[in-house]
Amino acid sequence: MPAVVFKDFSYAYKGSTKALDSINLTIPKGSFTAVVGPSGAGKTTFCLAIAGVVPHYYGGSLAGQVIGDGQNTLDSSMCALSSRVGTVLEDYESQLVTMTVAEEVAFSLENAGLPRAEIAKRVEQVLALVGLRGLEQAEVATLSGGQKQRLIIAAVLATEPAILVLDEPASALDPEGADELYALLGNLNKQGITIIVVEHDLARIMPYAQQMVLLNQGKLVIADRPAQVLTHMWQHDIFSASIPPLWQLRLRLRQAGFELEEWLTDEEAMGELQKLISKKEVCRSA
């Protein structure tokens, strides 16, 4: 059973034109999917549709279906969906509701009526997982932006969702905080959680994403391996500027007849470029 299936799904907010238009897509269980595209493409709406917030909270009109963890989002309440699909919104600070770190994680578990011992166990486990152990009694207001972000993820993870959907989770973080966050998401994915993340910085997502979904004006342009999607973007002016600089270089070199191996990180890119330079030097000295 796939993690998420969009079947001919279209959606328009009240009084608006379609924010998503005839989306057909399968997101495999246990995969790491990056959702990319220009502003207004429908990326946030895509996340909200998986969480059922669209249409349950926003109303509006829709056609087709979204199936999350085997359940049609229309047949489930937002509350029931939230136990299977954990969502971290772009404005994640608005999701923080309590005073201390431990209370924040325990909050939704208490609401779900879990026994105290189980709550204590899960609080300890998820805080260790996100690197916030020792801060149980710290006031949420005293945490850094990165710590708050990880706390929200801990609170969402404590409910043991099968799918984690995050909308621009690194947007308020410094580069180090963003690296730590993506390392955490990578680890969660290795443990079997399906990760779906909206990210505008494609270089950051490359080392982790197995699938990249490119949206534009509510339509699905392409869903494929990240390298294939970048190659597609390269052929269309509206997308090409958001391709990471080192990938732009790779695609330019390819046009000039120099085929380099695909790379995921800047380090791998430098290795490939180094190989190319040494080859040229061998040619020159021969």
Q: Interface with ligand ADP by CB under 6 A: which residues?
A: 13, 16, 19, 37, 39-45
Which token pair is 73?
């989002």
Whose Cβ is closer to ligand ADP: residue 40's or residue 70's?
A: 40
Q: Which residues of 58-86 are buried (b: 16+ CB within 10 A; e: fewer)?
A: eebebeeebbbbeeebeebeeeebbebbb
Could you say which DSSP state residue 7 is in?
E
Whose Cβ is closer to ligand ADP: residue 83's or residue 216's?
A: 216
Question: Cβ 13 to ligand ADP, closest distance in Å?
Answer: 3
Question: Cβ 62 to ligand ADP, closest distance in Å?
Answer: 13
Question: Cβ 15 to ligand ADP, closest distance in Å?
Answer: 7
Which token pair is 68?
């999350």
Question: Cβ 135 to ligand ADP, closest distance in Å?
Answer: 32
Q: What is the sign, positive or negative, of the torsion defined by CA atoms of 106, 107, 108, 110?
A: positive
Q: How many H-runs (helices) and E-runs (strands) does the chain carry?
A: 12, 10
Whose Cβ is closer to ligand ADP: residue 180's or residue 199's?
A: 199
Whose Cβ is closer to ligand ADP: residue 42's or residue 226's?
A: 42
Question: Cβ 124 to ligand ADP, closest distance in Å?
Answer: 35
Whose Cβ is closer to ligand ADP: residue 13's or residue 107's?
A: 13
Q: 45 with 11: CB under 8 angstroms?
A: yes
Which token pair is 263?
């790379």
Question: Cβ 228 to ligand ADP, closest distance in Å?
Answer: 21
Residue 36 pairs in a beta bridge with: 214
Which token pair is 265?
């990180």
Length of the chain as a residue count: 286
Whose Cβ is closer to ligand ADP: residue 26's or residue 171's?
A: 171
Alpha-carbon span 232 to 198, nearest angstrom: 19
